[in-house]
């Protein structure tokens, strides 16, 4: 039976979602828990790789397993075998053909920015602290240029053999108490795309780049013109939507 | 010159605020940073001890220091010498007689409860996860019995030589997105008082104790009748107010 599970993790301690030979990954940790539960080596497929230090509240994974008990008991069994920084939130049976990467219609990421003179120790692992105020209206104006189907080469590189065209459905800045949150949804993302977009939009927010220049950088398809890459710890994969 | 500083810390890695001989404490870590900045051994006084694992967003401390530069430069100098889980938020000159414990008029604590079937890895260090729904109205009704000047022996023990009478000014449950927050303000607190109150109020929230029984437990001045002590990691010292 193929299962589909929604996973949340704190990426602080992991070198990304994807299994690596010499470093801890979310995927390998999930596979270890699955092996403990099933007594068998199982492989897990995710909806997307998250970089080292990036979090998830709605990553979707799939795996095949011969499980004789209730599906709800499988969730509990996995969670007791996982470290507390990874949790299986939901689990259900899926079609044998279900593939979390190929079947995903969109991915949504949220980036949290905290602007204050001093960082907040309680949020240091989940927000990008900037000791400057930001012009959110200007960042929003610039972000709206992202919506549509474009070559996003200015903000990231595609996997080998793929092109850089992606469709951004939503790109929005919101004030949330004393934080500023960027929500972006696209059919798929290039490597580091969200973090490079955020890094560049923050330059707009500081008044050092206009929204029109941001639009020109997007149109230029030139990775040398965008701003710095925002740090990974502000970023969370929040939703993966399927057909 | 005496300085007064507002401090925030993530208590996860510390055995409480107060210096201990064999374990890391917030106080000793602050004193080390102060010694690095001043080249001198300095001692720090806090407004209150927080237990091991308890956080603070508004602890107030005082210390004496011979500092020749601007006060704002002292904040920066301390922060670069502190680990990222402790931050000096504000700093200012104080009267030579200022004492953060004796001069404090009230302390405010917040306790965060997260109710969902599965814990959230991104909030595991800052919320008490309960896999049950809670009756917030019942918890609020019970909490209102706390307001006033009472002997709080049922919920904690006083320091040696002190009595257990305290004045609770505010005790309120609020829904905050998908969390439930308890805010309590008192002139001072007994050892573990907030956590024992929260542990008992959660029993009310689960429908296993009435608000009237809660009131009777308070009146009984009997520590054997209250509920379990809520875990430290949900608790944050948020505000200390002064005369």
- Chain A residues within 8 Å of chain B (Cβ atoms): 8-10, 55, 57, 75, 79, 84-89, 117-122, 124, 126, 236
Q: What is the C-alpha separation between A139 and A182, in angstroms, rounded? A: 10
pLDDT attached to residue B113: 98
pLDDT attached to residue B160: 86
- Judged by CB atoms closer than 8 Å, whether chains meet at B121 and A84 is answered as yes
pLDDT per residue as tens digits for the range A17-55? 998 888 899 999 999 999 999 888 789 999 988 999 999
**C-beta neighbour count of A105 within 10 angstroms:** 12
Residue B21: pLDDT band (50, 70, 90) is confident
Q: What is the C-alpha separation between A182 and B34, in angstroms, rounded? A: 37
Residue B49 phi/psi, 5-degree rounding, is: -80, 135
Dihedral angle of Cα A127, A129, A135, A138, to the nearest 10 degrees: -50
pLDDT attached to residue A86: 98
- Is B51 marked active-site? yes
> What rounded mean pLDDT belongs to chain B?
95
pLDDT attached to residue A38: 86
ipTM of the complex: 0.91
Residue B123: pLDDT band (50, 70, 90) is very high
pLDDT per residue as tens digits for the range B189-228? 999 999 999 999 999 999 999 999 999 999 999 989 999 9
Which chain A residue shows the shortest CA-CA distance from B233? A122
pLDDT attached to residue A16: 94
pLDDT attached to residue B58: 97
pLDDT per residue as tens digits for the range B24-61? 999 999 999 999 998 887 899 999 889 999 999 999 99
Which chain A residue shows the shortest CA-CA distance from B121? A85
Residue B139 phi/psi, 5-degree rounding, is: -65, -35
Residues of A in contact with B122 (CB under 8 A): 8, 10, 55, 57, 126, 236
What angle is formed at CA A17 by the lines to CA A11 and CA A18, rounded to 5 degrees? 150
pLDDT attached to residue B73: 94
Residues of B in contact with A84 (CB under 8 A): 119, 121, 124
- Judged by CB atoms closer than 8 Å, whether chains meet at A9 and B121 is answered as yes
- Judged by CB atoms closer than 8 Å, whether chains meet at B8 and A120 is answered as yes
- Judged by CB atoms closer than 8 Å, whether chains meet at A79 and B118 is answered as yes
Q: What residue ranges of chain A have pLDDT lower than 50?
A: none
Q: Provide the number of CB pairs (under 8 Å) joining chain A to chain B.
A: 58
């Amino acid at each position: 039976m193929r299962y589909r599970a929604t996973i949340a993790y704190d990426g602080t301690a992991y070198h990304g979602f994807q299994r690596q030979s010499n470093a801890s990954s979310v995927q390998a940790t999930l596979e270890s828990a699955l092996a403990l539960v099933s007594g068998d080596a199982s492989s897990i497929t995710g909806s997307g790789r998250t970089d080292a230090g990036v979090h998830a509240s709605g990553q979707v994974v799939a795996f095949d397993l011969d499980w004789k008990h209730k599906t709800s008991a499988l969730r509990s069994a996995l969670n007791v075998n996982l470290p507390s920084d990874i949790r299986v939130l939901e689990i259900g049976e899926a079609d044998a053909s279900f593939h979390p990467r190929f079947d995903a219609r969109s991915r949504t990421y949220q980036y949290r920015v905290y602007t204050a003179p001093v960082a907040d120790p309680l949020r240091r692992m989940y927000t990008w602290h900037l000791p400057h105020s930001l012009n959110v209206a200007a960042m929003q104006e610039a972000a709206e240029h992202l919506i549509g189907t474009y070559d996003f080469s200015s903000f990231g590189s595609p996997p080998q053999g793929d092109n850089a065209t992606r469709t951004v459905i939503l790109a929005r800045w919101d004030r949330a108490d004393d934080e500023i949150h960027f929500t972006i949804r696209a059919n798929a993302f290039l490597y580091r795309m969200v973090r490079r977009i955020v890094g560049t939009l923050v330059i707009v927010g500081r008044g050092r780049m206009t929204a029109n220049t941001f639009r020109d950088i997007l149109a230029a398809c030139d990775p040398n013109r965008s701003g710095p890459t925002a740090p990974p710890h502000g970023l969370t994969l929040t939703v993966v939507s399927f057909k």
